[in-house]
Homo-oligomer: A and B are copies of this chain.
Amino acid sequence: MNIWDNDNEFSLGRKVAYDDFTTIDWTHDFNLEELRKRKLNKGKGIKKHWNQLVDKSKGWIVVLSVGASVGILAGYINVISEWLSDLKVGYCSTNFYLNQEFCCWGNDPPLNLHCSEWVPWGQVLSTSNSSTSPALEYILGYSFYILFSLVLALVSAILVLNFAPYAAGCGITEVKTILGGFVIRRFLGKWTLLIKSVGLCLSSSSGLSIGKEGPLVHVACCCGNLFLRFFNKYKHNEAKKREILSAAASAGVSVAFGAPIGGVLFSLEELSYYFPLKTMWRSFISAMVASIFLKIVNPFRTGKLVMFQVTYTRNWHGFEMIFFLILGVLGGLYGTLFIKLNLWLTKFRRDSWLNKYPIQEVIAITLITSAIGFPNIFMRLDTSELLSNLFTECDDNSLSILCPKSNIFKTITLLLIASLLKLLLTIVTFGVRVPAGLFLPSMAIGACFGRIVGIIVQELSKNSQSFFFQACQVGTNCINPGTYAMVGAAAALGGVTRMTVSLVVIMFELTGALTYVLPIMVAVMTSKWVGDAFDRGGIYDGLIRLNGYPFLHNKQDYPSDHTTGQVMTRVNDLVVIPADQISLSQIDELLQYTNFKGFPIVRSSNDPFLIGFISRSELRTGIEHAKLSSTVDGSSPCLFDIVDSDSLGILEHGSFVDLRYWTDHTPITVTPTTTMGVVIDLFCKLGLRYVLVAKHGELLGVITKKDVLKHIDIIEYPKLAQGNNLA
């Protein structure tokens, strides 16, 4: 049985019909770019060199502007969301627009966050001479906290829903799909940029369990898309456009984590489809410029690029590797759990009654989060502050609860509760209709777990005489729980995203803990292995599959022993253009009544000898061009073939529509016995949109990217496909 017989019914659970999206043809676009460059080289002397210089500098201008604007934007997003976040707990009596840190600036000791200028909401009723009771203060503070959280989240959700629905969520899934060669209109538009930036400030300060990192990548890509519109070179070439977007994504990660190198690697490993050395180099510079501008805008925040600067005075010991391995396993399990539950919930949210109440959903989740969050010290803290505290080595200034001297059970219990609650809240929150990422919450959960393991190991080692801990001298404090938190954070993030090299680099740019690169590596490795044992691919791949985005992994192998002959759409089911007898009016009809993206051209209706291929857009341009001439009418024949001068002579007698310039006479063709493995390889490596199947010059059929994606679904999920066919 040919599984492709009922091709039209075949949907494999894809809810979004991806015919709505346009696939780009990389090869075609690169050829256009080459043509353009050749024209540029046609000039002479100084003018030619000048033109070339101007052309080259365009790319740099865009990359530098993107870097600068992303840095500035991220800086302001940070400043505003910090202020809003502080507004939940109090206000600055001298200048309401200052956050707690700046309100108490210049105090003694420096960075003392408690000062008379900063008024917690609990004390808002107390006047200088009479003070309210602590219970009332607490209740007041609690109420204001919940109220502000609600307002912030609500405004964010309303903005997103009414003005830019694409601004919701993380955006990395879609960015990955777009970089993979698909067009999602308005996803990178200026409205999305505006609403996502504003919404991100609001939602990230509302206390919801979400991160700013993923959305910042989306914001950066919007910036990239905005700037490249100034240059036709990029505006009109989807493939070239993606070079800029890849660089912009690097800038986004760079400012999100303060990790320029990590940003480049993230773009390479996780996001980009086509990443030549030139793009890598540009990404590098874009990421760098973004970091510099972030530092300029946001100078007093840390003064350093490293977000969670850690300075560990102790090195790690060989025996600790076992615990790092355990953390890796935990991270992998966490990742699997998170992906399974979140995907299930996302599907439920999309397909059920819940779909109709996005605002109510946001309200409910915010209420729960803020009600839970206020009483628990670990939950109330800003996620990045929490991470920073979890990572640090215990000394005299550290949060005393994290460095228990005697009763470790209270600390462990609190951390365990915090991490479990955070896990549940993050699963529920990731996917609601506000700008929201999952990097930082995932890291926080992993860090809590890591810190728990670290505290336990520290306690075990303290007075142990066993062989296992012999590297520790008895009585000294040789275990640093902060390290475990760091390793745990990396493992958890690795479990969710299945990143490898880029994650390690981000971790050590984030913490500066270069000597801990081996433990982090081991944990990330284990986490990926454990996760992959359950299900291949991270959360973003899962979401791509769930949303039915047409994405072709070019970094994966798809062995397939079907032949193209089995998979192709046969020539009888295709609309082909017979080169010998098609008139202008017939082509008009063709364009009107079909919506195919392109048409193979054969010698005549009876003779399926392949002459070429013409894409819909070029066919339209071609005939519009031709219609300007007065000599053609609806009955004029169209000329597609590069005929030799003899037959051209004949044709020149009558008037005809010359479409030869618009026809691709050299489409990529394969034979019907070529295996699909080879064809998938061709699609992946060359970024094709279609291949023609021909034998001995005769057109037999066509394979489109859609066919390839369907075929891959069948290879990868044979059961699912079968079930679908039976239904």
A contact residues vs B (CB 8 Å cutoff)? 27, 30-31, 34, 37-38, 260-261, 264-265, 269, 276-278, 280-281, 284-285, 288, 291-292, 303-306, 315, 500-501, 504-505, 508-509, 512, 514-515, 517-518, 521-522, 525, 555-557, 559, 561, 609-610, 642, 665-666, 669-671, 673-675, 677-678, 681-682, 685-686, 694-698
A280 and B500: CB pair below 8 A? yes
Interface residues of A, dominant DSSP: helix
B677 and A671: CB pair below 8 A? no
**Given contact pairs A521-B260, A677-B31, A686-B685, A305 touches B515 in the complex (Cβ within 8 A):** yes
Contacts of A501 in B (CB 8 A): 261, 264, 280-281, 284
B277 and A269: CB pair below 8 A? yes
B277 and A556: CB pair below 8 A? yes
- Alpha-carbon distance A37/B292, docked complex (angstroms): 49
Q: Knowing that A288-B518, A303-B315 touch, tell me 5 more A-B residue pairs with CB under 8 angstroms.
A: A280-B501, A285-B521, A288-B521, A288-B522, A509-B514
Instruction: Kindly report which residue of chain B lies nearest to residue A281, judged by CB atoms.
Output: B500
A504 and B681: CB pair below 8 A? no
A673 and B678: CB pair below 8 A? no
Instruction: Kindly report which residue of chain B lies nearest to residue A560, judged by CB atoms.
Output: B34
B38 and A561: CB pair below 8 A? yes
Contact of A686 among B34, B669, B682 (CB under 8 A): B682
Instruction: Kindly report which residue of chain B lies nearest to residue A556, judged by CB atoms.
Output: B277
- Alpha-carbon distance A592/B131, docked complex (angstroms): 106
Instruction: Kindly report which residue of chain B lies nearest to residue A311, judged by CB atoms.
Output: B311
Query: How many of these chains are in the complex?
Result: 2
6 pairs of residues in contact across A and B, judged by CB atoms under 8 Å: A260-B517, A278-B557, A288-B525, A303-B315, A682-B686, A697-B697
User: Separation in Å of the A415 CB from the closest CB of chain B?
Assistant: 28
Contacts of A303 in B (CB 8 A): 315
- Alpha-carbon distance A13/B638, docked complex (angstroms): 50
- Alpha-carbon distance A578/B104, docked complex (angstroms): 90
Contacts of A306 in B (CB 8 A): 514-515
Contact of A666 among B27, B504, B521, B673 (CB under 8 A): B673
Top 10 nearest A-B pairs (CB, nearest first) are A697-B697, A696-B697, A277-B555, A666-B674, A685-B685, A666-B671, A512-B514, A288-B521, A34-B677, A34-B559
User: Separation in Å of the A309 CB from the closest CB of chain B?
Assistant: 9
B665 and A671: CB pair below 8 A? yes
A505 and B261: CB pair below 8 A? yes
Contact of A514 among B288, B514, B666 (CB under 8 A): B514
A518 and B675: CB pair below 8 A? no
**Given contact pairs A288-B521, A501-B261, A517-B261, A673 touches B642 in the complex (Cβ within 8 A):** yes
B261 and A304: CB pair below 8 A? no
A559 and B38: CB pair below 8 A? yes
B261 and A504: CB pair below 8 A? yes
User: Separation in Å of the A208 CB from the closest CB of chain B?
Assistant: 31
Instruction: Kindly report which residue of chain B lies nearest to residue A514, judged by CB atoms.
Output: B512
Contact of A276 among B27, B555, B559, B673 (CB under 8 A): B555
Contact of A292 among B269, B518, B561 (CB under 8 A): B518
Contacts of A281 in B (CB 8 A): 500-501
B675 and A284: CB pair below 8 A? no
Contacts of A276 in B (CB 8 A): 555
- Alpha-carbon distance A632/B503, docked complex (angstroms): 62
Question: A31, A306, A696: which has the most chain B beta carbons within 10 Å?
Answer: A696
- Alpha-carbon distance A285/B504, docked complex (angstroms): 12
User: Separation in Å of the A580 CB from the closest CB of chain B?
Assistant: 15
Contacts of A514 in B (CB 8 A): 305-306, 508-509, 512, 514
B518 and A609: CB pair below 8 A? no
B525 and A285: CB pair below 8 A? yes
Contact of A515 among B288, B304, B685 (CB under 8 A): B304
Contacts of A697 in B (CB 8 A): 694-698
Contacts of A517 in B (CB 8 A): 260-261, 305, 509
Instruction: Kindly report which residue of chain B lies nearest to residue A555, judged by CB atoms.
Output: B277
B37 and A559: CB pair below 8 A? yes
**Given contact pairs A260-B521, A277-B555, A500 touches B284 in the complex (Cβ within 8 A):** yes
Contacts of A609 in B (CB 8 A): 696
- Alpha-carbon distance A365/B508, docked complex (angstroms): 43
Contacts of A557 in B (CB 8 A): 278
Contacts of A666 in B (CB 8 A): 670-671, 673-674, 678
A27 and B681: CB pair below 8 A? yes
- Alpha-carbon distance A509/B288, docked complex (angstroms): 18
A675 and B288: CB pair below 8 A? no
- Alpha-carbon distance A512/B260, docked complex (angstroms): 16
B686 and A681: CB pair below 8 A? yes
- Alpha-carbon distance A153/B271, docked complex (angstroms): 50
Contacts of A315 in B (CB 8 A): 303-304
Contacts of A304 in B (CB 8 A): 315, 515
A678 and B518: CB pair below 8 A? no
Instruction: Kindly report which residue of chain B lies nearest to residue A287, judged by CB atoms.
Output: B521
User: Separation in Å of the A275 CB from the closest CB of chain B?
Assistant: 10
Contacts of A505 in B (CB 8 A): 261, 505
Contacts of A285 in B (CB 8 A): 521, 525
- Alpha-carbon distance A548/B291, docked complex (angstroms): 42
Instruction: Kindly report which residue of chain B lies nearest to residue A521, judged by CB atoms.
Output: B288
User: Separation in Å of the A82 CB from the closest CB of chain B?
Assistant: 23
Instruction: Kindly report which residue of chain B lies nearest to residue A528, judged by CB atoms.
Output: B281
B698 and A305: CB pair below 8 A? no
- Alpha-carbon distance A377/B571, docked complex (angstroms): 80
- Alpha-carbon distance A285/B500, docked complex (angstroms): 10
- Alpha-carbon distance A291/B515, docked complex (angstroms): 12
